[in-house]
Amino acid sequence: MFKTKARWIFIVLCLTLIAGVGARAVQAVETQTILYVDGSRETDPAQNRYKTITEAVNAAPVAANEASRVIIEIADGVYREQLRISKPYLTLRSASGDPTKVVLTWYYGIGYVYNNIGPDGFYDPNVDWSADSTWERLTRYNIGDSVNSITYYDKNGVLHRNKSVQGGVLGKPDRWGCAVKLERSAIGFIAENITFEASFNFYITQEELDAGVAPEPQASPKPSRAHLPAGSTEVEQQNYIERSVALHTDSDRTIIRNCIIKGKQDTLYVGSNRILFDNCTIIGGTDYIFGGATAVFNNCSLVFAGNEDNNNTGTITAGSHAPSVQYGYLFWNCTVDYRLDKTPKAGNFGRPWSNPLGAQITFHGTTIKQINNVLLISNEAWTNMGSTMRDEARFYEYGSVDETGVPINTQGRVINKLAPMGTVLNEWQSLEFNPYNYLKGRDGWDPLNLASFYAEINKVVDSVAIDTAVEGDSIALPKAPEGYEFAWTSDSGYAVVNADQTAVEIIRPAYGEPAVSAGVTLYVKDTASGYGNKKTVTFPIAARTNIEDTFTAAGTVSLNKAADAAVSVELVFSQNGVVIKKTAVRIPAGEKSAAYRAEYLPEGAYQVEISAAQGYKVTSGEIVSISGSAGETKALDVKAAALTTVVIETTDFTEPWAVPTANGSQAGFEFTRYVSTGAETANLGTENAVYKFTKVDGVTMPASIGAYWDLLAAVQANGGTLENTDVLCFSFDFLMETVDYLPNDYSYFDLAASRSNQGGNSADSTRFVRWGVHRNWQQFNMFGADNARVNGDKTQFHINDTMANKWYRITAEIDLKNQVITSTLYNRDAGRILNQKAFIIAAPDGEGNNPAYPTAADLTKGLFFSIYMDNKRTPHKMEYYFDNFRLEYQDYAD
C-alpha cells in the first residue's frame, strides 16, 4: 500500500483530471447524437425514442470518430435482450445514474438448448424450432439434435436454405449465451451506470420457459429447468450452476464505468484488446473473469456470488493470455467481497486457462475481506487448471491487506516456477504493473488521464544511462535526481550490483573466450506518490584482455572403446554459477582418447561440468572441482563410455519375467493370460494374448490385493542394469470394456522402486507414478510420490474420446537426471494424445522443490509395475485387460 501523503496527491491529481475530462465532454456534446430508450413507452423514431435497446442500437448512426460519438440514454427498467454491438464510438448509459435501476439481462446457459436460438447460436426473434410451420415439407429437427446445416422457414415465411448450425447442435447458445456481446468493430464502446446480468444462475424467467429450455442431449445431461416456475431461485443451487456470460468483450479502447456485472460461472469474458473497468462491481463464482484481453480493473468490487446450498466461493480469474502478451489483467486497488450472509470457504485469485507462461494476472493494493473470520482468498491464492499448473503462469500480487488495513500474510503463496518473479512482488517489482503501462498500447490510450503523470517518471527513466565501455571490472551507477529513488538489480552473474547500489561489479570470461551479454534493471520511483516504472539496460561483457594470474587445466579424455564416429566432449569451467571458460575436446573416429589443454583460467577454484555427445556418458564424474594458482598446470582426466538404448518388451506375455506374481489372494479375484477368439464383446481382436484381471460380482477385497511385474528382474535377465540410465520409459496398453466395471473409488496401477505402499492411499517415496481409474469422474488421474492428484483431463471413459472399450496406451517418461516425470495417455488405435500434451507428475519448482519426485527410489534394488484392483471394497464385477508392455533404458555398450 502507498503512504498517506502519496494517496492524497494521487486523489487530487485524479480529481483534477476528471474535471478536465468533464469539461471536454461538454464541449463535444454539440457533435454527438443522443438516442433515448424507455421500456414503458412505444418506439417513436421521430423523437429519437425507442422501446428496446436493440432498436436504439440498430437505429444509431455509425460514428466515424470520438467527436461523433452516439449516446444511448436508457430509462430505468429491466431490459431482457441479447445485445450484439458492432458499431464504434457508442455509449450506453443510465438516465438516472443508478446502475441498479437499468438492468440488461439474458437467460441462456451452456448445457441447454432453446427454440429461439438461430443457426448462428444467438437469439433470433424470427425462429421457433418447435413450430410446425418452420419445417413444412422439410426435414424436421428438434432442439438438441446434432446437425451441421438446416433448411427452414422463419416466422415471416421466408425460406432459408442450407444454413450452417453453429456448434453442430440446434438451439445451442454460442459464446456462453452472453447477454451483451461487443464485437471487435465496436471500438471505443462506453457503458455507464448499468447492470449487465446473466439471470441463468439466479432465477427462472418466463421468456426462458417460453423458449422451451431443455438440457442438451449428452452423456451427463444437465438437470431440467422447464418444471420450475418463473421467478424460481432454485437454480441458485450448485446442481444448476453452469456457464453463462453477462458481458462478452472483444472491442478495443472499451470503458465500463460504475457498472454491475452479475453472473456466477464465467460472468465476464474479456476476449481481446484493451478494456478499462472503472469503479465496477463484478459478481461471480468459478472463473468469473476470463479471456485473453488486456484489462484494468480500477477500484472495483470483486464479489463471490456463492450458492444457496453450500458455502463455496470460487476462482476470480481464468486468464488465457498467450506468452507473447506482456500485460493481461491488472486489479488496481480492488476489494474482494462475498454476496451471501453465511460463512464461506476461501476462494482463489485465479487459475491459468492457458499454456505455461501464458495467463498474466496482477493484484495490486487489494483489500481482501474476512467473513466470520474467514479470509476470502486462500493461503496459496492460486490454483491449477487442466494440465497447466498454478506455478507455471505469470501470477503476481502486491500490497494485499484485510479490511482494517493490516497486510495479508503471504508466506503460503504459490511460488512461480517459470516466471521471472515470484507471485508476491516487492515494492520495486510492483512499479511496472500500473494502469498506464497496461492500457497505453502503441496509440497512447489513456482513459485514466495518467500520461502526464507518468511522463515525468518516464523522462527520468529514459534519461538514465550507464557507461559500459570501461577497462576495469566495475561500472559506476548514476544516482537518482531529487524527488526520485533508484533501485538497481541484476539476474546475471556477470554483472552484480554492489550492496550500496553505486556500481556493477563485472565478472569477465577468460582470455580468448567470446563476449557475453548481461544486463541490469533500473527501478525509478517518484518519492511523493510511490509510483514508478522500470527499464532494463543490456550490454556486452568482453573477455579478460590479459593472461596474468592464470593457470591451465590439462589431461586426457578416454573412451571405453573406439568410436565409429567422432565424439565430442565439453568441459565448462564456472565460478559461483558463472561460466568463465568452455573447452571442447574431439576424439576422432576409430580413436579411444584425445589430449586437451584449457588455458588462461584466472586463478581460483572452479566447478567443472563435463558432458559427452554421440551417445556417450561421462563416467569419471560429470561435475568435478579444480583449483589452481598463477602459472600452474593442473591435471584433470576424463573418462566416458558409450550408452545405448535397450528395449525390453512383451506382446504376448510368454517370457518368464512377463508372468505376474500375485500380491495376496482373494476368492473371486483372478488374473490370467488370455488369448482372444474375436467373439468377445470386449475390443480384444482375434488371437491377441493379453492379461485379464477379474473380480467377480458380490466379492469385496482389501486394497492390497492384485499382482505385480518385476521389471528389474526383466532387465537383469537381459544381462543389464538400471544403474547407468539417465532416462527410463515404460508403457502399457489398457482396456476396460464398460463403465459398469469402474471401482467404487479407485483402482491403482503403480510404477515404483518398491512394493511397500501395498495399494494404500498415501505418499510413497519410491513411487514414480500411480495411475488411478476413478469412478466419479470416470477417468484416469495420476499421482506422484507425495500422493498429490494430477487431474487426468480428457481421459474419460464416457465423454471426449469415450474410452470405454477402447485401448489406452499409457506411458511414463522419467528423467532421472533432472527429476522430471511425465505421463502421456493416448487413444491407441486413433493415435491421438488424449490431453494434447503430457501430464506433469513431478518437476522442480523455481526454488528447486520437487515433493512429487521419489527421493527414496533405488533402481539397483527394484522396479515394479503393480496392479491394485480396488481400494474401497467394490461389490460389483470389475474387469481389466493389459497388453504390450515396453521398458526402455540406457546401459553401457560392450
877-889 residue pLDDT tens: 999 999 999 999 9
How does pLDDT run across 716-763, given as a tens digit for each residue? 999 999 999 999 999 999 999 999 999 999 999 999 999 999 999 999
At residue 490, the pLDDT reads 93
At residue 394, the pLDDT reads 96
At residue 491, the pLDDT reads 86
Q: Which segment, 1-5, 466-470, 857-861, is predicted with the most confidence on average? A: 857-861
For 426-448, what is the mean pLDDT? 97
Which is it for the CA torsion 300, 306, 311, 315, positive or negative? negative
The DSSP code sequence of 492-556 is -TTEEE-TTSSEEEE-PPPTTPPPEEEEEEEEEEETTT--EEEEEEEEEEPPPS--TTEEEEEEE
For 226-249, what is the mean pLDDT? 96
- At 322 the three-state DSSP class reads coil
Backbone angles phi, psi at 141, to 5 degrees: -130, 155
Taking the C-alpha atoms of residue 866 and residue 768, their distance in angstroms, rounded to an integer, is 12
Taking the C-alpha atoms of residue 675 and residue 678, their distance in angstroms, rounded to an integer, is 9
Backbone angles phi, psi at 20, to 5 degrees: -65, -40
At residue 116, the pLDDT reads 98
Beta bridge partners of 510: none
First to last CA, the chain: 66
Contact present, 531 and 485 (Cβ < 8 Å): no
At residue 469, the pLDDT reads 80
At residue 417, the pLDDT reads 86
How does pLDDT run across 181-210, given as a tens digit for each residue? 999 999 999 999 999 999 999 999 999 999
Kindly tell me if the per-residue pLDDT of 29 is higher than 80: no
Kindly tell me if the per-residue pLDDT of 638 is higher than 60: yes
SS (H, E, C) 368-437: ECEECCEECECCCCECCECCECHHHCEEEEECCECCCCCECCCCCCCCCCCCCCCCECCCCHHHHCCHHH
How does pLDDT run across 165-175, given as a tens digit for each residue? 999 999 999 99
At residue 26, the pLDDT reads 33
**Angle CA 671–653–736, to nearest 5:** 50
At residue 16, the pLDDT reads 34
Average pLDDT across the chain, whole number: 94
For 332-348, what is the mean pLDDT? 96
For 100-129, what is the mean pLDDT? 98
Backbone angles phi, psi at 452, to 5 degrees: -65, -35
Instruction: Give which of 237, 307, 247 is closest to 277, Cα–Cα.
Output: 247
Torsion of CA 317, 320, 326, 332, to 10 degrees: -10
At residue 493, the pLDDT reads 93
Kindly tell me if the per-residue pLDDT of 46 is higher than 80: yes
At residue 2, the pLDDT reads 34
At residue 32, the pLDDT reads 83
For 294-306, what is the mean pLDDT? 98
pTM: 0.75
**Angle CA 750–752–754, to nearest 5:** 115
Give me the numbers of helices (H) and strands (E) for the chain, helices first please: 6, 62
For 821-844, what is the mean pLDDT? 95
Other CB atoms within a 10 A radius of the CB of residue 184 amount to 13
Sheet of 268-270: strand order equals: 83-85, 180-182, 247-249, 268-270, 286-291, 315-319, 348-352
At residue 386, the pLDDT reads 80
Q: Quick one: cell of 162?
A: 442450407
Kindly tell me if the per-residue pLDDT of 846 is higher than 60: yes
Other CB atoms within a 10 A radius of the CB of residue 274 amount to 23
At residue 847, the pLDDT reads 72
At residue 21, the pLDDT reads 36
SS (H, E, C) 94-125: ECCCCCCCEEEEECCCCCEECCCECCCCCECC
At residue 12, the pLDDT reads 35
Q: Quick one: cell of 447?
A: 482513459
At residue 768, the pLDDT reads 99
The CA–CA distances, whole Å, from 161 to 150, 358, 426 equal 7, 42, 61
Kindly tell me if the per-residue pLDDT of 6 is higher than 60: no
For 622-641, what is the mean pLDDT? 97
Kindly tell me if the per-residue pLDDT of 505 is higher than 80: yes
User: What is the chain's percent helix, strand, coil content, to nearest 5?
Assistant: 10, 40, 50
Q: Which long-range contacts (CB under 8 A, 24 or more apart) does 785-790 make?
A: 785/842, 785/851, 785/852, 785/853, 785/854, 785/855, 786/851, 786/852, 787/761, 787/762, 787/763, 788/851, 788/852, 790/387, 790/839, 790/840, 790/841
